[in-house]
Structure 1
Amino acid sequence: MVSRRNFLGAGVALAGATAWSRTSAMGLPEAPVMESAATQPPVHPSEGPHYNPVVTLNGWSLPFRMNGNVKEFHLVAEPVEREMAEGMTAYLWGYNGQSPGPTIECVEGDRVRIFVSNKLPEHTTIHWHGMILPCGMDGVGGLTQPTIPPGKTFVYEFDAVKSGTFMYHPHADEMVQMAMGMMGFFVIHPKDPDFMPVDRDFVFLLSSYDIEPGSYLPKVMEMTDFNMWTINSRIFPDVAPLVAGTGDRVRVRVGNLTMTNHPIHMHGYDFEVTCTDGGWVRPEARWPEVSIDIPVGAMRAYEFDAVHPGDWALHCHKSHHTMNAMGHDVPTFIGADKSAVARKIKAVQPDYMPMGTKGMADMAEMSMPLPDNTIPMMTGWGQFGSLEMGGMFTVMKVRDGLEAGDYEDPGDYEHPPGTVAWEWTGELPEAATAPDGSASGSSLPNTPAAHQMPDHGAGHSGH
């Protein structure tokens, strides 16, 4: 087991130059650090051109300072601890205290200067994925620049010539560094604030890890058999919801830095893809979708009008990608009678639970012992019971009456009477009558109180 002290101190032990001091950083912009895994409120610019800032799920945007007419940012590449969900922490590499790193935001036409300080145990670079810039700023170690040694700071400076959604990640020991979580979003807002305006603008990255139950470090040599599929290095049930007011124009920007494609599906709506990392999609080239496939190393942004209130699932449609800590070598026991062998195993292991003979749903409802630093494969609870989800899953929550800057979780949706599926008992209930005298659907009670889930005690997490 790698201890936190050994892990976080690896860079200092390898190279004495990595010892950080105020003197060595004199004159640099501040390098703020984020320790929380909660979604931070959007930060409106206090200097430079105005823009409507994005909201990074379970993340934040990096502050900047103005130096003349240049926006200056400071990224620090370093080992980090990322809480993937309550009860599970991963030892990753990232930027400014988190993985993914903070979102960088600027405006089309801005001159940006980004200081990158390396506190890793090895050299690194940053590639500005999809952006138009001078070749020497492209960040490919050995090809377009010398790599950044441990303890050193390099400067990237270029003009933000094209608006859109981009990413950043290393192009040095890329297999290891990206597998360890080094990535982030880069959003360039249009110079014209009337071009493609939205009320709510969400961003998140898709990443994957192979972290064995009870361990903390990803297996960086893994190519296909990942067991943690994440949204901004978070797994359900602790991925933040996307919150919008009824009638808001909403944009969702999704980047994929895993090793497979992800068909992102959102319930309750159709939408149009309006942007890729290649640029904005012309109106005549758009088409309606309810799922959009995000290729490897690509970004897609889609937009819709939030006109349907409710709690709408948003997830990858590859079913294994909505699971946590999945063991891929587990045989299928559906239809097998395990009662005899279960009695024998319980004689030596009283906590043993035979599972899988009728499917896997009981794994989400039964409490079973787990290794430390592990989360159940299927988990999460809603007002009607177990969600039986994990991984790349969250909820788009649309509510009436939300203030423009309100991104707090509004809680469970209160379904109007007659709008929840009910059990058939042999006859249809009488239709409810709307105030105007028209039929408004079933009068069957369907408030949350009528569908209470079992009481599993305070703080139950589905373990």
Structure 2
Amino acid sequence: MTSRRDFFKFAGIAGGAVAAASVSKVAMAALPEPVIQTSAETSAPLVPNFGRPYNPVVTLNGWTLPWRMNQGVKEFHLVAEPVVREMAPGFSAHLWGYNGQSPGPTIEVVEGDRVRIYVTNKLPEHTSIHWHGQRLPNGMDGVAGLNQSAISPGKTFMYEFVARRPGTFMYHPHADEMTQMAMGMMGFWVTHPKAKNPLIDEVQRDFCFLLNAFDIDPGSYTPKIMTMLDFNLWSWNSRIFPGIDSLNVRLNDKVRIRVGNLTMTNHPIHLHGHEFLVTGTDGGPTPKSTRLYEVTTDVAVGQMRQIEFLADEEGDWAFHCHKSHHTMNAMGHDVPTLIGVDHRGMTQKIRNLIPDYMVMGERGMADMAEMEMPLPDNTAPMMTGQGPFGSVEMGGMFSVLKVRKDQKPGDYKDPGWFKHPEGTVAHEYTGPLQAPARFKSEGGQSMPLAETPKKQTVVKARKPTRHTEH
């Protein structure tokens, strides 16, 4: 990675024209040096060392793009290029992204900043960038063919506009969008308020990440770009559990989490142990009169949601999408429901022919988290993650909020597992038990049936095996 110290020494070099247009080879010499990052770790917040101060965000398993000041303009350089993204330890994908990562780096500015972004295209096809949710001149909106010419391979374009309102935004292509979004091209944008705003509270921790999804066959590296709904990898910032970093905060910190959805479906994001307020959307801060305490908020396609809460309960709290199939990794969606089927006799006969054969799902999906089944190279187990009490049996869009009273202010290091006070952990009970009360009546009905069925029908529910059956 090019160091941030090297980047800032370029401050003061001349800029270019104001329109979103290609940049000549002569002007290329004056561009900010592109900063490249390939690590999948969560980087520390990038504290501004000049300009208007603000409390920077922490991008989950990501980083913030450095800038230079050029005659009062904040200049950034994005490089659209193929990247290799580690989605979890031992599992990487060949994606498209920006500056060595997918998603690309977060861009942070202050309300009222004039921003200039150079975009260099190193993809095998043309591209553009749409600044999702921004108020800007029409010619800077980034829709190829409508607002600008597409950026051809090898070319550099320049976008310039004023960050007119504070809030939580995104950037992504608006050229061959189906391919480029499916390959991972997207990034986060945060505009901080320039002064005290009655609708924007000060917080001690400010996290952000994008929801994205991929369809990658087990053992392969490249997403299938034609998939509409049946994705098998649901991720936060292109990471799947247990490869998603935890969100580490200090007890009684005011915490903000910004979430953007660039998948093909909605995601009910759920936090354990705390209630939160939805304090912002892609339209800006929400009026305080509309805010309700919730523990789950639905983030629809193309939406941003900004939640805030007081981290006043110590512990390791689950934080995840509440669609159960979105907390699983690849290989699980086509497994039939075999709960209650006794395979013992058949299994031995099959093993005479296939020694490695194993029963899957006879007692439930949790069996799969315990099986030591052979997997193709470059594949993540369907459910995984080892907690202090055993297998967590999760995957996909799942992480942990870690609240600690001894976490230092501004310290984002993982504090390890929570040490529960004595007597506060659920445990096995071995004493006497009374028979539980069970509901026995079938209830009444609003009126008699016109025709009584000759034979009572018992319906056996079958869990959907594919997302298209939801």
Scaled by the length of structure 1, what TM-score is found?
0.86
Paired residue total: 407
Q: After superposition, what is the alpha-carbon deviation per residue over 1:399-457, rounded to whole angstroms, capped at 9, x for unaligned?
A: 012112211111100111111111111169xxxxxxxxxxxxxxxxxxxxxxxxxxxxx
Q: Pick one of 351, 361, 369 that aligns with 1:364.
A: 369
Aligned residues: percent identity?
A: 66
CA distance in 1, matches of 2:351, 2:93: 32
Shift of 1:368: 1.1
Q: Pick one of 386, 394, 397 that aligns with 1:389.
A: 394
CA distance in 2, matches of 1:341, 1:427: 39
Whether 1:121 and 2:124 are equivalent positions in the alignment is yes
The answer on whether the counterparts of 1:51 and 1:193 sit within 8 Å (CA) in structure 2 is: no
Q: Pick one of 160, 172, 194 that aligns with 1:157.
A: 160
- Runs ≥4 residues deviating over 3 A: 22-25
Report what 1:57 is aligned to: 60
Unmatched 5+ residue regions in structure 1? 1-21, 429-463
CA distance in 2, matches of 1:197, 1:400: 20
Whether 1:225 and 2:230 are equivalent positions in the alignment is yes
Report what 2:444 is aligned to: none
CA distance in 1, matches of 2:196, 2:71: 23
Shift of 1:362: 1.6
CA distance in 2, matches of 1:99, 1:363: 29
Scaled by the length of structure 2, what TM-score is found?
0.85
Matches within 5 A, 1:208-357: 208-357=213-362
Shift of 1:193: 5.0
Q: Secondary structure at the match of 2:289?
A: helix
CA distance in 2, matches of 1:292, 1:329: 28
CA distance in 2, matches of 1:328, 1:309: 35
CA distance in 2, matches of 1:408, 1:205: 21
Q: After superposition, what is the alpha-carbon deviation per residue over 1:372-411, rounded to whole angstroms, capped at 9, x for unaligned?
A: 1101101001000100000000000000121122111111
Shift of 1:23: 8.2
Q: After superposition, what is the alpha-carbon deviation per residue over 1:107-145, rounded to whole angstroms, capped at 9, x for unaligned?
A: 000000000000000000000000100000000000000
Q: After superposition, what is the alpha-carbon deviation per residue over 1:266-286, rounded to whole angstroms, capped at 9, x for unaligned?
A: 000111000001000121111
Report what 1:417 is aligned to: 422
Q: Pick one of 85, 88, 98 that aligns with 1:95.
A: 98
CA distance in 2, matches of 1:256, 1:335: 38
CA distance in 1, matches of 2:365, 2:203: 41
Matches within 5 A, 1:377-456: 377-426=382-431
**Letter matched to residue 32 of structure 1:** V
Report what 1:75 is aligned to: 78
CA distance in 2, matches of 1:34, 1:124: 21
CA distance in 2, matches of 1:251, 1:91: 32
Please tell me whether Structure 1 or Structure 2 has the larger radius of gyration of its CA atoms.
2
Q: Secondary structure at the match of 1:149?
A: coil
Shift of 1:219: 0.7
The answer on whether the counterparts of 2:167 and 2:280 sit within 8 Å (CA) in structure 1 is: yes
Report what 2:12 is aligned to: none
Report what 1:202 is aligned to: 207
Whether 1:137 and 2:132 are equivalent positions in the alignment is no
The answer on whether the counterparts of 2:407 and 2:415 sit within 8 Å (CA) in structure 1 is: no
**Letter matched to residue 114 of structure 1:** I
Q: After superposition, what is the alpha-carbon deviation per residue over 1:136-187, rounded to whole angstroms, capped at 9, x for unaligned?
A: 0000000000000000000000000000000000000000000000000000
Report what 1:178 is aligned to: 181
Report what 2:11 is aligned to: none
Shift of 1:338: 1.9
**Letter matched to residue 52 of structure 2:** P
Shift of 1:345: 3.0
The answer on whether the counterparts of 2:127 and 2:175 sit within 8 Å (CA) in structure 1 is: yes
Shift of 1:30: 1.2
Q: Pick one of 157, 169, 172 that aligns with 1:166.
A: 169
CA distance in 2, matches of 1:409, 1:249: 18
